[in-house]
Amino acid sequence: DTAVSQTPKYLVTQMGNDKSIKCEQNLGHDTMYWYKQDSKKFLKIMFSYNNKELIINETVPNRFSPKSPDKAHLNLHINSLELGDSAVYFCASSQDILAGTYEQYFGPGTRLTVT
Amino acid sequence: DQQVKQNSPSLSVQEGRISILNCDYTNSMFDYFLWYKKYPAEGPTFLISISSIKDKNEDGRFTVFLNKSAKHLSLHIVPSQPGDSAVYFCAAILYDKVIFGPGTSLSVIP
User: What is the nearest CA distance from B49 to chain A, expressed in angstroms?
Assistant: 8
Confidence of residue A56 (pLDDT cuts 50, 70, 90): confident
Contacts of A102 in chain B (CB under 8 A): 32, 34, 49, 93, 98
Q: What is the pLDDT of residue B108?
A: 97
Query: Which of the four pLDDT bands, split at 50, 70 and 90, describes residue B91?
Result: very high
Residue of A44, A98, A106 with shortest CB distance to B96: A98
* Count of CB pairs separated by less than 8 Å, A with B: 54
Task: Phi first, then psi: give them for residue A86, nearest 5 degrees.
Answer: -60, 125
Residue A99: what pLDDT?
Answer: 67
Q: Kindly report each contact of residues A77-82 with a partner whose C-beta sits within 8 Å and lies 24 or more positions away, as own/partner.
A: A77/A18, A77/A19, A77/A20, A78/A18, A78/A19, A78/A20, A78/A21, A78/A112, A79/A18, A80/A16, A80/A17, A80/A18, A81/A13, A81/A14, A81/A15, A81/A16, A81/A17, A81/A18, A81/A19, A81/A112, A81/A114, A82/A15, A82/A114
C-alpha B99/C-alpha B93 separation (Å) is 6
Is a pLDDT exceeding 80 seen at residue A106? Answer: yes
Q: Do A107 and B43 lie within an 8 Å CB cutoff?
A: yes
**H-helix or E-strand containing B96?**
none
Residue of A90, A104, A108 with shortest CB distance to B46: A104
Q: Are B6 and B56 in contact (CB under 8 A)?
A: no
B48: three-class secondary structure by DSSP: strand
Task: State pLDDT tens for residues B7-65.
Answer: 999 999 999 999 999 999 999 999 899 999 999 989 999 999 999 999 999 999 999 99
Check if A10 contacts B (Cβ < 8 Å): no
Nearest CA in chain A to B37: A106
- The average pLDDT across A37-63 equals 85
Cα–Cα distance between B93 and B96 in angstroms, integer?
7
pLDDT of A1 higher than 70: no
